[in-house]
C-alpha cells in the first residue's frame, strides 16, 4: 500500500491512541486494530449492548493504556501485512497500484472473509474492473444499517480502484 493510500486509510479508520468501542461495540485501538476479547466477538450486537449497559463490556487489561506513535505505526504495519497478503492471494491478477490499494483498504475494514466472498473479488478476478469498482458501493452497512462513513469510504475506495 503506498503512502497516499495509507494516509486515506488512516483518515477513514481514525488514529486512536487509547482503546475505544467501535460502532459495533468491539474494543479497538490504534488504526482500527481490533483488541476485543474472543468472548465479545462471539456475542451479537444486542448482547454487547446489554453487556455494556450492565458494565460488563470491559477493555482487555493489557490494552487499557495509551499507545505511542511508534506503537500505533508498528501495529498498523503488522496488521496491513496480513491484508496485503490476503489481497494478493484472493485477487492475484489484474492488480494496478490503485486496485491493490483499494482492495487492501476494503479488506482492512470489512475483513478478508468479506473480500473472499464479495462481488468485488468475483468481478475483479473475471476482469470486469468497472463492475468491481461499482461493487464497492454495495458494502456500506454495519449491523444492517447504512453508515454514512462507510458510504464515503466506499466511494473513495472506488475512486482509488479506478485511479490505476
**Spans of all domains in the chain:** 3-162
Question: What's the confidence (pLDDT) of residue 142?
Answer: 79
Given a cut of 80, whether residue 56 has pLDDT beyond it is: yes
The rounded mean pLDDT for the chain is 95
pLDDT in tens, 81-127: 999 999 999 999 999 999 999 999 999 999 999 999 999 999 999 99
18-46 pLDDT, tens digit each: 999 998 899 999 999 999 999 999 999 99
**pLDDT at position 129 over 80:** yes
The pLDDT, as a whole number, for residue 48 is 95
Mean pLDDT value across residues 73-81 = 96
Q: How far is CA 138 from the centre of its chain?
A: 15
Residue 145 is predicted with a pLDDT of 83
Enclosing H/E stretch for 34 = strand 33-34
Residue 155, number of CB atoms within 10 A of its CB: 13
Spell out the alpha helix ranges (H) of the chain.
3-13, 38-41, 45-53, 69-90, 97-110, 112-117, 119-125, 129-135, 148-162
User: With 90 as the cut, is the pLDDT of residue 144 above it?
Assistant: no
- pTM, whole model, 2 decimals? 0.89
- Write down the CATH number for the domain with range 3-162: 1.10.530.40
Can you read off the three cell numbers belonging to residue 124?
475483479
CA atoms in the 13 A half-sphere facing the CB of 119: 10
Amino acid at each position: 500500500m503506498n503512502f497516499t493510500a495509507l494516509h486515506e486509510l488512516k483518515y477513514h479508520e481514525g488514529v486512536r491512541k487509547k482503546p475505544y468501542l467501535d460502532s459495533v461495540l468491539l474494543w479497538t485501538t490504534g488504526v482500527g486494530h481490533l483488541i476485543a476479547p474472543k468472548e465479545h466477538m462471539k456475542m451479537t450486537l444486542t448482547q454487547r449492548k446489554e453487556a455494556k449497559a450492565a458494565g460488563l463490556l470491559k477493555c482487555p487489561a493489557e490494552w487499557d493504556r495509551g499507545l505511542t506513535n511508534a506503537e500505533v505505526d508498528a501495529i498498523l504495519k503488522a496488521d496491513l501485512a496480513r491484508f496485503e497478503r490476503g489481497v494478493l492471494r484472493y485477487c492475484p491478477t489484474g492488480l494496478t497500484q490503485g486496485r491493490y490499494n483499494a482492495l487492501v483498504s476494503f479488506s482492512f475494514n470489512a475483513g478478508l472473509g468479506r473480500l473472499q466472498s464479495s462481488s468485488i473479488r468475483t468481478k475483479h478476478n473475471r476482469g470486469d474492473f468497472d463492475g468491481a469498482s461499482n461493487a464497492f458501493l454495495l458494502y456500506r452497512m454495519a449491523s444492517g444499517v447504512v453508515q454514512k462513513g462507510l458510504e464515503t469510504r466506499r466511494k473513495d475506495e472506488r475512486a482509488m480502484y479506478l485511479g490505476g
